[in-house]
Structure 1
Amino acid sequence: MEYNNWLERTELLIGDENVDKLKNSKILIVGLGGVGSFAAEFLVRAGVGSLTIADGDRFDPTNKNRQLSALDSTIGEPKASIVGKRLKDINKDIQLEIIDKFLEPEETNSIVRNEKFDYIVDCIDSITPKINLIKAAIFTKTKIVSSMGAGGKLDPAKIKTASIWKTRQCNFARQIKKRLKKDDIYKNVRVVYSYDELKKDSLKLTDGSNYKKSFYGTISYMPALFGLHCAAEVIRGITDIYSIKKPN
């Protein structure tokens, strides 16, 4: 007899009610690189029932050191479509919307306002679109967890989830805070960040053709761990797992 309860072990740990909450949840993930690709996979494997993923980028060879779906066979392919195909192969019943483009500010505001997500996972690595998404979440009172910079960091033990106003040793968070203050926004925003010392000598300047003036070196496990923490924050926010009684 075929046995199809693929969430059995999740149910054993967090209970049927919490599994049902995840099945009935609706999540938006923007950015499907090193952090977002892992966050998406962890959430789908936890049983999230409805997911919208957005990214307009395509895989290139430099993505292979850290991005879940970056393979020789996917180079040049759109990230959103490839990640989406993988997610459907994990859970064929998931309600999945794939947005294969970079979202303009008006589109971000419209999607967040109209879709009524239970949670937003912000894995964008550019300042301005990241600010637009955070502000859209704040103005619609949608829960959000935002990934800060995983580049230039090595120590996995120094990754934390906290209010953005309590971050330290994170240049990316410092820039986000500066922009929020400029717009007179002081709301609590949950972020994943590392307080590890930045490896400044890993910085590389670019010609700006890839929308970035510079970037830091990365190691395989750090973006994945950021994605793990983002997914865990969402799961904790949707379920009652903190109230689960521990055995005596």
Structure 2
Amino acid sequence: MQNQFSRTQLLMGKPAMDTLTGSRVAVFGMGGVGSYVTEVLARSGVGELDIFDDDRVCLTNINRQLYALLSTVGKHKVDVAEARIHDINRQCIVHKYQMFYLPENADAVDLSLFDYVVDCIDTVSAKLELIRRCHHLQVPIISSMGAANKLDATAFRVTDINNTKMDPLAKVIRKKLRKLNIPRLKVVYSEEEPLKQIDDPNISCRFHCICPDKDMRKCTDRRDIPASNAWVPAAAGLIIGGEVVKDLIKKANTMRILPEAFENNKAVTMAETKAARHKERYEAIASAKKNGTWTDDKVVIKLPEGF
């Protein structure tokens, strides 16, 4: 029977789609990169998504963030993201975390639940904490390096952190991971040299923060206000999303298995079992919502004092 994922199944096969249906992926950061990562995962049929971001949509997000529209300014990004995900795939189970992930609150998140973690965080200490914990738990993770202050969307590369060049953020992360004895990290980074911003105090968020609510971090308190555009962060997000999809299927050994090879194939059986388990969970949640017994599992963790 045809569905919204039929064209993807024609390319990758039903066992691959079952693998994605039965997978749970966490995306940390719903900004210019993370929003497009989530879009790829939702449109590829990933069955369970955990999304992390504490911000509301700001007018200055509209130039690059998928969830940022004039109609969504002031709304929490995780709420807008959930609505869009469900408009793509109603059977996707979405868990929302309205939080700014930090070493101080990292214990609130059980990373062992996830088949894959995507790091689209722009704070070095938070990135390192997430990477360190995933490494300890042996949870696959891919990290986005710098996408700001750049114009060339064709300059992105998928590689190990040790092979990066030109990217200032990657350089910092690379050095710190060596001190943590973490030998490898899959990243998407750009080989384009970052451009210097055109200084204009009249429109700089550093001097004129227009964030929509008092519960957001003020731009005037941030160390760096990046310049950006519509296509570079989006390209990074699309690449990362694709890598996650391919890695999940590759690990499950279910890429492009022909129907005549289904019988007695352990990988096919395992994928079918995971997809069936997801269906049971979704139906239980749908039934609870219909009966009025569903309790929203959104997690809200406020920023530490003085952050």
Fold similarity call, TM over 0.5: yes
Matched position secondary structure for 2:65? coil
| 1:199 alignment counterpart | 195
1:29-178 equivalent positions in 2, closer than 5 A? 29-105=27-103, 107-115=105-113, 117-178=114-175
> Is residue 233 of structure 2 the alignment partner of residue 236 of structure 1?
no
| 2:236 alignment counterpart | 226
1:232 is displaced (CA, Å) by 1.0
Mapped to 2, the partners of 1:146 and 1:87 lie a distance apart of: 22
Higher RCO (Cα < 8 Å, 6 or more apart): 2
Name the amino acid aligned to 2:86. Answer: K
Contact conserved, 1:27 with 1:52, CA < 8 A, in 2?
yes
| 2:3 alignment counterpart | 5
Name the amino acid aligned to 2:44. Answer: A
Q: Which runs of 5+ in 2 are unaligned?
A: 208-216, 258-307
TM-score using structure 2 length: 0.73
> Is residue 191 of structure 2 the alignment partner of residue 181 of structure 1?
no
Contact conserved, 2:102 with 2:125, CA < 8 A, in 1?
no
Mapped to 2, the partners of 1:141 and 1:52 lie a distance apart of: 18
Mapped to 1, the partners of 2:243 and 2:71 lie a distance apart of: 32
Mapped to 1, the partners of 2:159 and 2:48 lie a distance apart of: 26
The structure whose Rg is larger is 2
Report runs of 4+ in structure 1 exceeding 4 Å deviation: 202-205, 241-245
Question: Against the structure 1 CA distance between its residues 219 and 242, is the aligned structure 2 distance closer, same or farther, given a 3 Å change threshold?
Answer: farther
Contact conserved, 2:37 with 2:241, CA < 8 A, in 1?
yes
Tell me the alpha carbon deviations over residues 193-243 of structure 1, each in whole angstroms, 9 at most, x when there is no partner. Answer: 100121124577937943531133111001111101111110111113896
Mapped to 2, the partners of 1:205 and 1:67 lie a distance apart of: 17
Alignment size in residue pairs: 241
1:153 is displaced (CA, Å) by 1.2
Mapped to 2, the partners of 1:243 and 1:86 lie a distance apart of: 27
Contact conserved, 1:112 with 1:140, CA < 8 A, in 2?
no
Mapped to 1, the partners of 2:15 and 2:167 lie a distance apart of: 37
1:64 is displaced (CA, Å) by 0.4
Matched position secondary structure for 2:109? helix
**Percent of aligned positions that are identical:** 35
Contact conserved, 1:151 with 1:215, CA < 8 A, in 2?
no
